[in-house]
Amino acid sequence: METQAITDPRILIVVPCFNEEAAIATVVREINQVKLQFNLRLDILVVNDCSTDSSMAVIRGLNCLYLDLPVNLGIGGAMQAGYKYAYRNGYDIAVQMDGDGQHPANELIKILQPMVEGQGDVIIGSRFLEKAGFQSTALRRIGINYFRRLNFMLIRRAIYDSTSGFRAFNRRTLKIVNTYYPDEYPEPESIVQFGLYNLRIVEVPVTMRERQGGVSSINTGRAVYYMLKVTLGILFVYIRLFNKRVNLTN
Amino acid sequence: MASLSITIQIISLLGAAIFMIMIFRLIVQGRLREEYSIIWILCTVILIVFAIWRKGLEQISLLLGVYYPPSLIFLAAIFAIIVFLVHLSVVNSKLQNQIKDLSHEMAMMKKELSDIRAGMPILEANAAVAVHEK
């Protein structure tokens, strides 16, 4: 069973979708092409986070599985729905890919490779390791640097792209995420969570694109709120899990 | 002087009575849960007690070393309000969590239902994991 899972793992690509009618079809089509090209046992699950545009109609016509959330939960809640689905349905690996086309499907294999080889429990696709492709705005990079320092202080690991949503989880990680996953801006917070659970976090270089449609959830006006909320979230996840740390390592 | 304080007394009693009736109506109409009404009924009772027992506030203030009796009311009232607001935030957070969990379950059940309608077999792994979880 275990060897079979390693050689031919069942993979679920979770694509959160909130008002991405312009980009979602391309994202799913590209993933399906990669699936055929590498002959992967792969399913795509689009999680429609109560979109107000015609995303849902588009999704129904695509070659993919989908969850239709009855209430808008935000990116964290939508992703957790996908991860819960992956865990309950016995998938070995779940990969998050954004629905706006920022994460090119042909980079998928770079994230899956180390995961299938068992190099880590969490594989994060990072923009900053080889500095290729879309590098995000200067202001955002300052924020990301700050999170790297904060993460290093708390869990002694340098994660260069802690806000990257291009990441893969194995079953060990899925089991943890199944019970708790941060709500609002989950990416940096979950890294601290995984660090305290002693999961092996591996970053691999990927190139990202600029979003292909839709609007980012983070604009300059919300940047300050974002930094505050995520910092608080990180600190409280740390405090909450630190005392349990000894039990968690098993 | 004496007549003025009686007017205030009557106004306080009337206010308290109206407030109490409002609370009861809300409960009867099902718009307020009993557990939350307890605190409001308690507040009204305190109000009534002090409306009748006029020297009470002064005596308690003297006992606590507060020179200006009304400031004791403000202190107590503001403290009670803050505690209750925090309590409401806690309740709100809990509700938010429950809504999230419910939405997850509902989305998955919607998916399962549409799978069944489409004649797709339910994954065996699905059942196996579900049993394992129990």
State the pLDDT confidence band at B59, using cuts at 50, 70 and 90: confident
- Kindly report the nearest CA distance between residue A94 and chain B, in angstroms: 15
Tell me which chain A residues have a C-beta less than 8 angstroms from the C-beta of B129.
Answer: 87-90
Please tell me whether residues B25 and B85 are part of one structural domain. no
DSSP code of residue A19 = S
Tell me which chain B residues have a C-beta less than 8 angstroms from the C-beta of A70.
Answer: 103, 106-107, 110
Closest partner residue to B125 (CB to CB) among A47, A73, A90 is A90
In chain A, the largest separation of any two C-alpha atoms, in whole Å, equals 51
Q: What is the pLDDT of residue B108?
A: 95
Please tell me whether residues B46 and B1 are part of one structural domain. no
Please indicate whether, in this complex, the C-beta atoms of A88 and B100 are within 8 angstroms of each other. Answer: no
Please tell me whether residues B47 and B17 are part of one structural domain. no
Look up the ipTM and state it: 0.84
Average pLDDT along chain B: 84
Please tell me whether residues B23 and B78 are part of one structural domain. no
pTM metric for this prediction:
0.81
What's the fold here for domain A11-247?
Spore Coat Polysaccharide Biosynthesis Protein SpsA; Chain A (3.90.550)
Please tell me whether residues B42 and B15 are part of one structural domain. no
DSSP code of residue B120 = P
Q: What is the pLDDT of residue B113?
A: 92
Please tell me whether residues B76 and B39 are part of one structural domain. yes
Between B48 and A212, the higher pLDDT residue: B48
Please tell me whether residues B39 and B87 are part of one structural domain. yes
Q: What is the pLDDT of residue A84?
A: 96
Please tell me whether residues B66 and B111 are part of one structural domain. yes
Between A106 and B54, the higher pLDDT residue: A106
Q: How far is CA B78 from the centre of its chain?
A: 16
Please tell me whether residues B72 and B107 are part of one structural domain. yes
Please indicate whether, in this complex, the C-beta atoms of A90 and B128 are within 8 angstroms of each other. Answer: yes
Q: Which of A3-7, B63-67, B93-97 has the highest mean pLDDT?
A: B93-97
State the pLDDT confidence band at B12, using cuts at 50, 70 and 90: confident
Q: CA-to-CA distance for A9 and A25, rounded, in angstroms?
A: 25
**Mutate which of A14, A56, A71 to disrupt the B interface (most B C-beta within 10 Å)?**
A71
What value does the mean pLDDT take over residues B64-82?
Answer: 88
Q: CA-to-CA distance for A194 and A181, rounded, in angstroms?
A: 10
HEC string of B17-36 equals HHHHHHHHHHHHCCCCCHHH
Please tell me whether residues B2 and B44 are part of one structural domain. no
Please indicate whether, in this complex, the C-beta atoms of A80 and B104 are within 8 angstroms of each other. Answer: yes
Residues of chain A with pLDDT under 70: 1-7, 212-220, 245-250
Q: What is the pLDDT of residue B57?
A: 82
Please tell me whether residues B22 and B41 are part of one structural domain. no
Q: How far is CA A238 from the centre of its chain?
A: 20
Please tell me whether residues B40 and B102 are part of one structural domain. yes
Q: Which of these, A173, A149, A174, A167, lies nearest to A206 by C-alpha position?
A: A167
Between B125 and A86, the higher pLDDT residue: A86
What value does the mean pLDDT take over residues B79-100?
Answer: 94
Q: Domain count of chain B?
A: 2
Question: What is the domain range of residue B112?
Answer: 32-132
